[in-house]
Structure 1
Amino acid sequence: MGFNPFGNLPVINMADIASKADIDDINQRIKTEDLSLYIDPTNGDDSTADGSYNKPYKTFIALFNSLPKYLDSLTVTIKKGIHTINGSETINLPNRFIKKLTIQGETSNAEDTYLDEFYMFLNDFSFHIFYLKSLKWSPYGMSNYRYAIYLEAYNNYVGISNCIFDGKNINYSNSKGVILYYSRGLIYNTVFKNFINTTNDDSTAVDLHTSIFRFTGCTFDNNNYHILLKDGSQANNSSGNTLTNSVYADVKDSNVWF
């Protein structure tokens, strides 16, 4: 206990009630920051990367592992090019907290930045707002499914804009573009096409579970289903959407499509 100039009342030192680790954690929360980092899945090098334009990361997991514990915002820019990855990444970082996470292509033209044959699973990753912008993306096939991006958002906001998701007309079991769990948000000006399978009618461009989304200015073409609504999901057909050439129906298990 410390010296008390006012008599017998004790003076409490911080060391008596909090460990150094606790104090460091509080300081990290106070000193949050904004970061902008680059990734190049074709030419990046995780062993030398610092996230700058000239020294981009190669993989998302290496980039995310480099982060401080708390961030106000993180913008991950994927350098333009056709990145044929033929693989998947699982981002499972329960001890990272980001208020706003943006993953975007280098230019505003989605065709300039193409993640080809790639699957990303974002799970147990804390954020309040997630944006995906200006990317072209085709899914990667594994043993019994072929997905592009799977996101468990835990009631946080998700925005997807100016993207192209292309299943490439590959006849693969359980082929899906965007899978969203426990989330809400807006999907805007995005193309979903060519997610088909002749033996599995669950193949779909967008698969929503316990989620609420508004669709505006989107184009759906040549999918088994354009949208699956499951577990109480709702989708608002806001304005300017085009839904053509669904193999079975535009919307399956439609709890609410209005």
Structure 2
Amino acid sequence: MIDSFNSYGLEPWIVKQVLSFLNKAQTPQDLHVEDASESGTGYAIGRTVAARILAQRNALPGRRFTRLEQVQQISGLGQDKLHDLVAGFSLPAAEAFRRQMSKTVLPSNFTLVYDSIHIRELKNFHLIARTPSRLNHLVTKRLEAIAYEKHGDVPVRDLIGTLLDQAYLETFPSPQIGAYALALWFYRFDEDNWFSFASAHAEAEAYLSRYEAPSDRLELRLYKGFPNAGLLMDPISVTDLPVVVNYPEQVITIWRAQLQD
């Protein structure tokens, strides 16, 4: 069982990210961490300390870390360095995906935004995740607020629920299949004129496959036929509304985008 590392007050998903990174490393060179700032260039743990980390891990049952306290005991890995290590994995999945898409795939005239709803009570989160009507209600309320902020118009706001009910909700439990569907949504904006399907797919798969365990999946839900253009975003936009159910972070994320051609 992965410890929640209460002395740092960390969310369990951050601890899982750190331990997964340390458990995957095969050589000291593998222990390189991007820092959490948008302009950061990352840093590397020194070779000596990195070698100690691997040696400590390989001496454990199953050759795996299961608690951050096990890492904390390693000589030369001070509190500052451990804090930096943790900070490198504290970026939520949605923000990491947005940054990576903006950095490596999308042109400067493409706007990609998301709205994440954190549901702290685990039982309530799972109830919403497995009940389409509850998910629809949650998404509707957030989209109504977005539409009202954009238009200042009550009738437009009140139209959201009807349009969402009319859309067909398709679920993609597999991150691999979901990545194709999400990449295709991006690709439909202007096909190969601005970016390739392959580049969008690579980032979408990395996003939806961020966590290792099947129970820690990120699941794409696509509201097919939902109109974005003129309602939530300005043209150029496309139909369908991607929503990602993020189990480890207990977050529902709604994605919107527009292209200024």
User: What's the TM-score once normalised by structure 1's chain length?
Assistant: 0.23
Which structure would you say has the larger RCO, counting Cα contacts within 8 Å and 6 or more residues apart?
Answer: 2
More helix by share: 2
